[in-house]
Amino acid sequence: MAVLVLAEHDNASLKPATLNAVAAAEALGGDLHVLVAGAGCRPAAEAAAKVKGVAKVLLADDAVLAHPLAEDLAPLIAKLALGYSHVLAPTTTAGKNVMPRAAALLDVAQISDITAVVSADTFVRPIYAGNALATVQSKDKVKIITVRGTAFPAVAAEGGSAAIETIAALGSAGLSTYKGAELSKSERPELTAARIVISGGRGMQSGDNFHLLDKIADKLHAAVGASRAAVDAGFVPNDYQVGQTGKIVAPDLYIAVGISGAIQHLAGMKDSKVIVAINKDEEAPIFQIADYGMVGDLFKILPELEAELDKQVK
Site for other proteins in 45-104 (CB under 8 A): 67, 69-71, 74, 92-94, 96-104
Residue 60 beta carbon to other proteins: minimum distance, rounded to whole angstroms: 19
253 binds other proteins (CB under 8 A): yes
170 binds other proteins (CB under 8 A): no
Residue 77 beta carbon to other proteins: minimum distance, rounded to whole angstroms: 11
Within 292-311, the residues that bind other proteins by CB under 8 A are 292-295, 301, 304-305, 308-309
Residue 56 beta carbon to other proteins: minimum distance, rounded to whole angstroms: 27
For other proteins, which is the closer residue by CB, 112 or 260?
Answer: 112
Among 168, 183, 208, 314, contact with other proteins (rule: CB under 8 A): 183
Burial of 183 (0-12, 13-18, 19+ CB in 10 A): exposed
Q: Please, how many CA atoms are within 13 Å of residue 304, restricted to the half-sphere of its CB?
A: 8
User: What b/e sequence results for 210-243 when a residue is b if at least 16 CB atoms lie within 10 Å of its CB, and e otherwise?
Assistant: bebbeebbeebebbbbbbbbbbebebbeebbbbb
Q: Helix, strand or coil for residue 80?
A: helix
Q: Residue 297: enclosing H or E segment and its boundaries?
A: none
In 10 A of CB 132, how many CB atoms? Answer: 9
For other proteins, which is the closer residue by CB, 55 or 124?
Answer: 124
Among 82, 139, 168, 283, contact with other proteins (rule: CB under 8 A): 139
Residue 79 beta carbon to other proteins: minimum distance, rounded to whole angstroms: 13
For other proteins, which is the closer residue by CB, 40 or 303?
Answer: 303
Q: Is the dihedral of CA 46, 39, 148, 279 positive or negative?
A: positive
